[in-house]
Amino acid sequence: MSGYQTPSTPTENTAAASRSGYTSPKAAAYLANKRTQGLSLERIVFLGRTFEEYMSIFGLAQNDLQGQKILDCPAGACSFAAEASLLGAEVTAVDMAYHFDNEELYNKGQQDIRHMIQSMTEARDQYDWSTLGSITQLENLRTEALEQSSLDRRVHPNRYIPAVLPDLPFGNKTFDLTVSAHFLFLYADRLDEEFHIRCLQELMRVTRTEIRIFPLVNLKSERVAFVEKAVAAAGQGSWEIQEIPTDYTFQKGADTLLVLKRV
């Protein structure tokens, strides 16, 4: 793949891609016809968010984690699996990027942080910095997430599964909670409603109780029109849908998350 065109409101991954011609691991996994063969490491942007960012994004408290089996999909270089596991959760992180060697991904992540910071310095006015504070803080957070996730993957490689939606290698109702950030709906201008329905069906299949998805806007910070329709088609009346505010702010307009509960 040749990478995305730069959107009018870039995300962190597309900001890096705009400079280097890369494709986000969260998008490449789905845009490569569900295959990883032929997708080179050079075409992946490997970035992630910290545990604290995830907790804020998804409105979770530490007591929501203890004793729970949790799926993070797609997970990228996020440190959620590493830190939530220390708090008594059993977390599985899924991303197609995990097909690559840990050291290769770590080096790639460092490179991508540098590209991202250069690009976002030029586009800083397109973001809400009330949560992250500054570009320096953003760089520190992305570096922290990369360091922690890379270390955890070396120590606990079985937590990190290379796989691609909408075909996950898990049994029905394997996880109590699934969290999914910065993929579904964000790329709605490239991935159609039917694709979202299939991905939602798969997340519903492997999840016992609850799914949380963020954001509900596309790359242009526009609310995706087919959110409720796609959930209804995927869930067939078996899931309750709620849209609730999130404390996390960065992409303008991305201030709510989707909470799906099995009924």
Q: In tens digits, what is the pLDDT along the chain, a chain of 263 residues? A: 222 233 444 566 655 544 444 344 444 444 444 445 556 777 777 999 999 999 999 999 999 999 999 999 999 999 999 999 999 999 999 998 999 999 999 999 999 999 999 988 888 888 999 999 999 999 999 999 999 999 999 999 999 999 989 999 999 999 999 999 999 999 999 999 999 999 999 999 999 999 999 999 999 999 999 999 999 999 999 999 999 999 999 999 999 999 999 99
> What pLDDT shows up at residue 42?
76
pTM: 0.87
* pLDDT of amino acid 44: 76
Residue 142 in contact with residue 134, Cβ under 8 Å? Answer: no
Region of 108 (left: φ > 0; alpha: ψ -120 to 50; beta: rest) is alpha
pLDDT for 19:
41
The conformational region for residue 7 under phi > 0 = left, psi -120 to 50 = alpha, else beta, is beta
Which residue in this structure is represented by tokens 């996880």? 175
Residue closest to 142 by CA, chosen among 212, 45, 239: 45
- Asked if residues 94 and 73 have their Cβ atoms less than 8 Å apart, the reply is yes
